[in-house]
Amino acid sequence: MLSPRIALACALALGAIPSALAQDTQRLRTDKVEVIVETLARNLENPWGLAFLPDSRMLVTERPGRLRTIDADGTISEPIRGLPKIAARGQGGLLDVALDPIFAQNRLVYLSFAEDRGEGRSGTTVARGRLNQDGTALKETQVIFRQEPAHTGNNHWGSRLVFDRDGNLFVTLGDRFDLRDQAQNPANHIGKIVHIKPEGGAAPGNPFLNRGDTRPEIWSLGHRNLQSAALHPITGELWTVEHGARGGDELNIPQKGKNYGWPVISYGVDYSGAKIGEGTKKEGLEQPVFYWDPSIAPSGMAFYTGDQFPAWRGSILVGALSGKLVSRLETDGNRVTGEERMLQQLGERIRDVRQGPDGLVYLLTDSRNGRILRMKPAT
């Protein structure tokens, strides 16, 4: 099969562009720059997470349970072997992917996924395996973390994977939808961010170590369903974005041991229109840095630090599912000073956003015929 780029070049050489290929490249205007959005790869089933390998190839997860490599020209590999058993149902399946900070030496790949736990219950799990030299299989795959308790529901799994600067791993965990009150219970992992060592176990310096009534892996609590997370490129702090219900999507900078309020406080309402909790503020519960109302259903985020879009440097790029857009947030320190909503013309659910090693922006579209989009300056 020809890659999209080669096929388009052939069509141009023949003086004709097939209609399907013509739609693969669009020129769009944003507030500060005109961009070209091109399809790098297609026919991915609900792609969820993306990570760049040192040779600029990509690892991409598909929610039904496949992990693939994508070459720079868009060529898609056969599924990588050696993955753990994955429960693909509802919003669950194979979710995020991250490389070990010293991947070049140890070739370790980390995956988050929905895992069957028996008796109809399942939970978010993290495993790691060693990618073989030809990139066709994971070896020595083992589980390093399981969200407890397992649950029968199929929604709100989280889950993004982000390494801190010390080589420990943040994992964002959802409230499993109908266990939302448990997000306030420090005795479990529901609606929490956990901070673990790369081999598993609570990371040193966690806020609740050696307390019998609290899970030692917990970093922060009171979260709903976090599907966006990234380290600030200057401070090294973790920033996250989580789904609200009807309104109240939140951007936070989760500090260790702090409580972010769900479901006691929220800037949204329930899907029925009913009030959630006690209002928007309560003493002892943290306020978001920024929130969206109505909801855009955020998923995937990246701090832009590259040279290809100098006018965006320092911005946060957040994908949106129901909003079908990319939200560009301008920041000043820990404050959001402005928002631009981009790429609404595409009409695509944006599942993940990543800055590539080339300084371009890469997007995953969430559909049964999902695409990898590459955004570059029109000039």
Catalytic positions are: 156
Residue with tokens 């895992």: 115
Using CA atoms, how far residue 160 sits from 36, 98, 202, 302, 341, in Å, is 28, 9, 17, 12, 23
**One-character DSSP codes across 140-201:** EEEEEEE-SS-BS--S-----EEE-TTS-EEEE---TTTTGGGGG-TTS-TTEEEEE-TTSS
Q: Which residues contact 234 (CB under 8 A, 6 or more apart)?
A: none
* Cβ-based neighbour number of residue 112 at 10 Å: 27
- Nearest-5° Cα angle at 208, 205 to 210: 95
Q: What are the two backbone dihedrals, phi and then psi, of residue 200, each rounded to the nearest 5 degrees?
A: 105, 160
How many Cα atoms occupy the beta-carbon half-sphere of 114 within 13 Å?
26
Strand 47-52 and strand 58-62: the pairing is: antiparallel
Q: What are the two backbone dihedrals, phi and then psi, of residue 181, each rounded to the nearest 5 degrees?
A: -60, -25
